């Protein structure tokens, strides 16, 4: 894998064409223990169905999909900005499914994805971002280094892929 990684926004048609590769990243992350709404074992069809839904959301302008690609063109990471919000929150967006394949970690890809999501949020006219992550996980350090503020922790908010409860930390960022 080339050391060079680029992050970019993909449109609806391209998002639909990336479903297979994005499913690979999702399955890899869940198998690696990431609590990202899925349980083990994660069936490939379930992962594909999820990403098809994301592509449809991109087509409806409800979300933005960013991908991180290796120099060889392989998708090694992704993050989403959910822009469709209630009428009284047009300035807000949710950051979701920040994923980096295990083979590509510790190379600054997550930082690149988070910087890109900030830039896209600004382009979309969003000034408040929110996200949640497993309490005590590596992502907490990433978000805090990127200027996110901890809002609080909810114990037993979700399950890890193996079925164990986990606390979830909520963060926000003003752009």
At residue 96, the pLDDT reads 98
pLDDT by 10s per residue, the chain, length 175 = 457 999 999 999 999 999 999 999 999 999 999 999 999 999 999 999 999 999 999 999 999 999 999 999 999 999 999 999 999 999 999 999 999 999 999 999 999 999 999 999 999 999 999 999 999 999 999 999 999 999 999 999 999 999 999 999 999 999 9
In eight-state DSSP terms, residue 3 is S
Instruction: Determine contact, residues 48/20, Cβ cutoff 8 Å.
Output: yes
At residue 1, the pLDDT reads 47
Tokens standing for residue 168: 């979830």
At residue 3, the pLDDT reads 77
Q: Where are the domains of the chain?
A: 5-125
Q: What is the pTM of this model?
A: 0.96
At residue 175, the pLDDT reads 98
d(CA 127, CA 121): 7
Q: Which of 168, 64, 81, 167 is nearest to 128 (CA)?
A: 81
Q: Which fold has domain 5-125?
A: Aminopeptidase (3.40.630)
Burial of 143 (0-12, 13-18, 19+ CB in 10 A): buried
């Amino acid at each position: 894998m080339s050391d060079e990684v680029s992050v970019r926004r993909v449109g609806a048609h391209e998002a639909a064409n990336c479903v297979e590769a994005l499913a690979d990243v999702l399955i890899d992350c869940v198998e690696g223990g990431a609590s990202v709404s899925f349980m083990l074992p994660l069936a490939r069809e379930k992962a594909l169905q999820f990403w098809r839904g994301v592509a449809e959301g991109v087509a409806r302008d409800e979300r933005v999909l960013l991908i991180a690609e290796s120099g060889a063109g392989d998708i090694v990471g992704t993050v989403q900005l959910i822009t469709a919000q209630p009428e009284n929150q047009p300035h807000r967006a949710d950051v979701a499914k920040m994923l980096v394949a295990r083979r590509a970690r510790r190379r600054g890809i997550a930082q690149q994805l988070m910087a890109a999501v900030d830039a896209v949020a600004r382009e979309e006219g969003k000034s408040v971002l929110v996200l949640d992550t497993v309490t005590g996980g590596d992502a907490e350090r990433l978000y805090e280094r990127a200027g996110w503020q901890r809002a609080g922790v909810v114990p037993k908010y979700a399950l890890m892929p193996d079925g164990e409860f986990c606390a979830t930390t909520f963060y926000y960022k003003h752009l």
